[in-house]
Amino acid sequence: MSETVQEAGQDEQQSVSGGGSEQHADAASTSRSEADLVREGDIAGDYLERLLDLLDYDGDIDLDVESGRAVVSVEGGKDLAKLVGSEGEVLEALQELTRLAVQQETGVRSRLMLDIAGWRANRRDELSDLGRRTAEKVAATGRTQRLRPMTPFERKVVHDAVATVSGVTSEGEGEPPNRRVVVYRVE
C-alpha cells in the first residue's frame, strides 16, 4: 500500500489513535476545541511534573496548542537527555504514556506531541533538510531514492519537505517498523 504526501498525516493520526479507522481519527481530531486541547496540555503537564519529581529531574514545562493538537515541551535540567534516548525512543514511549494518562482522565484518545530538551524540534529541522536535499537530488538526477525506515512523525516531516520541491513526489513503502519514504521524479 502506498502512502501519498496527503496520506502521511493520516498515517501519523492512525498510528497514534491505536490503529482505528482514518476517518474516525480525522473526526476526533477536528472535533476537539481549543479548550479541550488546553485541558489535555494541563493534564499532560501535571503528569510529567509528577514524573520529573519522582526522578528528581529539573525541568520547565511549556504548554501550547498547534495545528489542532496539544504540544507539551520540557526544557531545562541536564538529565533530560536520558528522557529522550539515543534515537528518541524513550521520548516516543513517554509521549505514549502521557497520551494514555490524558485519555484516562478525559476518556478521549489524545494526539498531543511531547518534546523534551528540544529534541523533536531539532529532529524536525534535520528531517526537513534531509527531505529537501533528497528531493533536489532526485529532481537533478532522476534516480529514485529510498530513505531509511522512520517513525510516522519522521515520515510526515520528510513528506512535507519533499512537497516543497517541484518535479518530485514521495510515498511510503513497507510496513512498520520498516516503513520508509521513497522519493521519485514526476515525469
pLDDT tens-place string over residues 73-85: 999 978 899 999 9
Residue 73: closest CA among 35, 113, 40:
113
Q: What is the CATH number of the domain that holds 89?
A: 3.30.300.20
Looking at residue 19, what is its pLDDT? 34
Q: How many domains does the chain have?
A: 2
Domain-embedded: residue 102: yes
The single residue listed with the C-alpha cell 510526515 is: 156
Domain-embedded: residue 24: no
* Average pLDDT by stretches of 10, the chain with 187 residues: 36 35 38 90 98 95 95 92 93 97 97 96 97 98 97 95 98 96 95
Do both 100 and 48 map to the same domain? yes
Rounded to the nearest angstrom, the gap between the alpha carbon of residue 41 and the centroid of all alpha carbons in its chain is: 16
| β partners of residue 180 | 173
Do both 108 and 141 map to the same domain? no
Contacts (Cβ under 8 Å, ≥6 apart) of 131: 157, 158, 159, 160, 161, 162, 170, 181, 183
Domain-embedded: residue 18: no
Burial track 8-17 (b if 16+ CB lie within 10 A, e otherwise):
bbbbbbbbbb
> CA-to-CA distance for 117 and 78, rounded, in angstroms?
9
Looking at residue 31, what is its pLDDT? 58
Q: What is the CATH number of the domain that holds 179?
A: 3.30.1370.50
Residue where a domain terminates, one of 117, 132, 149: 117
Supply the range of the domain harboring residue 79: 32-117
Do both 62 and 76 map to the same domain? yes
